[in-house]
Structure 1
Amino acid sequence: MLFQIKSYLKFLWNSKNEHAVHSPFVFSLLTKCFYDKKQKPEYSILKKYRKSLFSNKSFIEVTDFGAGSKVFKSNKRQISKIAKTAGISPKRAELLFRISNYFQPKNILEIGTSLGLATSALALGNPKSKVITVEGCPNTANIAKNQLNEFDCTNVENIISEFESFLISENLQSTTYNLIYFDGNHSKKATLNYFELLLPTIDNDSVWIFDDIHWSREMEETWEIIKNHPKVKVTIDTFQWGLVFFRREQEKEHFIIRA
């Protein structure tokens, strides 16, 4: 906790808003997407989705996986408590919706479904997209699938698999993901493995979002490695998230932005 407090204070000291940004691409993203204060009809759907989970007092067996499909924790948890502790916040869900809506990605991949709070935001942002979401725990994935169907997120394909196993088994050389949301394993080794495995899926306009980049010293080290990769051209650090862009026409720039 002390590490995160220090990291956040450092973030506040270094962060800027749109007035300090000279990149037209990033300035447009901030003003038209990040700082868009207009109410969207989809926000009410996201709130109802969340409320439905918060009122669900049922217990399910939750299984977490480590590297190499190794089970390292399994216990019974209440659905409402999972939603409150592991789910994306309302503010972040709305921002994720706006990002999906702004870029209109055709193919979206989510690493880590949990109960589908972030999945619903991605899916509603562009109903014409195909969203593939991967979750290792079967019981959690099934709750998410039922929820997404109930709230008409019909463009989502739920896959139950350990993350690295899914990525290795897929023919990624012939796949393009326009947006990837990484929220499955907050370890340096796993995150960098996913990064390398998914690099063949990028195109010039791909957007990658990494969750919890300041969660630990290890994740901050991971973020620095990602930023310095030669194929990465623009990054935005919002403290909670790290956004990565591969636009070849851009000069390499890193932004720390209050979102």
Structure 2
Amino acid sequence: MNKYRSALKNSNTTLQVTDLGAGSKVLHSEVRRVRKMIKASSSSKKEVRVLFRLVNYFNIKSALELGTSLGMGTYALALAKEDSNIITIEGCPNTSNFSKAQFETLDIKNTTFITGDFTTVIPSLKDKNYDLVFFDGHHNKAATIQYFKSLLQKVHNETVFVFDDIYWSKGMTEAWEYIKMHNDVTVTVDCFHLGFVFFRKEQVKEHFRIRL
């Protein structure tokens, strides 16, 4: 994962980026250098380590990611278990195609890339459920709640939802509070940048805060 990040940081590639979500607080131009994108809008080293360990600890076999970006989080999910099935959705065609090409070069075979708007793609997903869903795109309140509610039908008792940037904005924090209080949610873990949601019916509703 460190080698992949280093390769992106040294890349001279520029991408014409289409923002379908809340966009970047740092990068405002539509034409962006990959080396700047990896610093401003990709999962951090700490976050990808957490995702990698999460997949191993919970023995994740199927995962869905909303927001591929440059594929740092995707790579962590895919690398953790080579026999897992990872689906990642990205709204920007150029970003999706770039990341897909990197994975083909690295010979990563357990990841499927889908390009499209989350609202359109989610209803077309054929998998009955997912062990893990990573919400890492379209960072605003209404969209986050919408995707959360639409993916509840893909949950089983051991499913884990992971939300990125839960304090990115006032709207994202309000979305996080809504999710915590939802009747289907039993346990949440607030790690500041990441929020973890569990649905185990045998557990009492509890909310934790842990500093990573």
Give the counterpart letter for 1:81 in structure 2.
Answer: K
Query: What is the alpha-carbon distance in structure 2 between the residues aligned to residue 59 and residue 92 of structure 1?
Result: 25
Aligned residue number for residue 123 of structure 1: 78
Q: What is the CA deviation profile of residues 159-192 of structure 1, one whole-angstrom value per residue up to 9, with x for unaligned ones?
A: 0011111013335xx6111100000111010000
Query: What is the alpha-carbon distance in structure 1 between the residues aligned to residue 164 and residue 60 of structure 2?
Result: 19
Which 5+ residue runs of structure 2 have no aligned equivalent? Answer: 23-27
Aligned residue number for residue 230 of structure 1: 183
Q: What is the CA deviation profile of residues 201-222 of structure 1, one whole-angstrom value per residue up to 9, with x for unaligned ones?
A: 0000000000011111111111
Q: How does 1:41-52 map to 2 (within 5 A)?
A: 46-52=1-7
SS at match of 1:65: coil
Q: What is the CA deviation profile of residues 59-107 of structure 1, one whole-angstrom value per residue up to 9, with x for unaligned ones?
A: 111111149xxxxx87111111111111111121111101111112111
Larger radius of gyration: 1
Of residues 52, 77, 94, the one that matches 1:97 is 52
- Residues 188 and 197 in structure 2, CA contact (< 8 A), matched pair in contact too: yes
Report the RMSD for the aligned CA atoms in angstroms: 1.5
Aligned residue number for residue 40 of structure 1: none
- Residues 232 and 245 in structure 1, CA contact (< 8 A), matched pair in contact too: yes
Give the counterpart letter for 2:170 in structure 1.
Answer: R
SS at match of 1:64: coil
Return structure 1 stretches of 4+ with deviation > 4 angstroms: none
SS at match of 1:255: strand
- Residues 49 and 151 in structure 1, CA contact (< 8 A), matched pair in contact too: no
Aligned residue number for residue 25 of structure 2: none
Of residues 107, 121, 124, the one that matches 1:166 is 121
Of residues 170, 174, 196, the one that matches 1:243 is 196
User: Equivalent pairs: percent with the same residue?
Assistant: 47
Of residues 167, 171, 174, the one that matches 1:221 is 174
Query: What is the alpha-carbon distance in structure 1 between the residues aligned to residue 29 and residue 62 of structure 2?
Result: 32
- Give the TM-score normalised by the residue count of structure 2: 0.94
1:157 to 2:112 alignment:
yes
Query: What is the alpha-carbon distance in structure 2 between the residues aligned to residue 135 and residue 256 of structure 1?
Result: 30
Query: What is the alpha-carbon distance in structure 2 between the residues aligned to residue 245 and residue 107 of structure 1?
Result: 16
Query: What is the alpha-carbon distance in structure 2 between the residues aligned to residue 149 and residue 50 of structure 1?
Result: 16
Between Structure 1 and Structure 2, the one with more helix by share is 1
- Residues 238 and 256 in structure 1, CA contact (< 8 A), matched pair in contact too: yes
SS at match of 1:242: strand
SS at match of 2:18: strand
Of residues 116, 129, 144, the one that matches 1:176 is 129
Query: What is the alpha-carbon distance in structure 2 between the residues aligned to residue 208 and residue 134 of structure 1?
Result: 16
Task: Between 162-171 and 47-56, report the one with greater CA deviation.
Answer: 162-171
Deviation at 1:129, TM superposition (A): 0.8
Which 5+ residue runs of structure 1 have no aligned equivalent? Answer: 1-45, 68-72
- Residues 135 and 161 in structure 1, CA contact (< 8 A), matched pair in contact too: yes
